[in-house]
Amino acid sequence: METEVIKPKNKIHPHKFTLWVGIGSIVMMFAGLTSAYIVKRNQSGWVSYELPIAFWYSTIVILLSSLTIHLSAKCFKERMMGKYRKWMAATMLLGVLFVVLQFIGFKEFWQMGMTLQANVSFSFLYVIVGLHGLHILGGVVALIVMSLKAFSKKTRNYSIVPVDLICTYWHFVDLLWLYLLIFLIMIR
């Protein structure tokens, strides 16, 4: 007896699709903020500034984390669960490190007199980078949950969907950071 499996069209999982639409929504929020930034920059009272060094380190960290989560998803697909666990945990740690570095950057910035209230240009930096940070934090929480599940002996991990979702989201917040970084360097 021959068995023929017909795969349905429309292969994208509904949760993954929901994530993509959600990403579109987040993009609109940052598009709103960055265009407000551009409008304000052309008005009087704008002060230029240098980004804190810690932001550069955090950029390296988040780029690395994108690599590790990619490797983690790849190992999951090949059912190399040991490696999957390690890379997932590494991504989680790098995510935490990113948040810490961003916080240090804020502190550095604040101590140089560029406080939240001092000028509207600094206020924008805090709000935009801070909101991105919140999105990262959301990702970190998800990564912690994923890592705990990966190391738990009770849960069995078969479905690729959660790994795929967190992977897409994490790459997105990484790209979003790169966009914001380039934006803040080019326009200040």
List of residues contacting other proteins (CB under 8 A): 1-8, 10-15, 17-18, 21-22, 24-26, 28-33, 36, 39-40, 43-46, 116-117, 119-120, 123-124, 127, 131, 159, 161
Distance in Å, CB of 83 to other proteins, minimum? 25
Token pair belonging to 165: 């979702």
DSSP assignments along 84-133, one per residue: HHHHHHHHHHHHHHHHHHHHHHHHHHHHTT--TTT-HHHHHHHHHHHHHH
- CB closer to other proteins, 63 vs 130: 130
Structure token digits, residue 116 = 């939240």
Residue 33 CB, shortest distance to other proteins, in Å, is: 5
Q: How far apart are CA 18 and CA 42, in angstroms?
A: 37
Closer Cβ to other proteins, 37 or 87, answer by number: 37
Minimum CB separation from other proteins for residue 19, in Å?
9
Whichever of 27 and 93 has its CB closer to other proteins, that residue is: 27
Cα distance between residue 106 and residue 122, in whole Å: 10
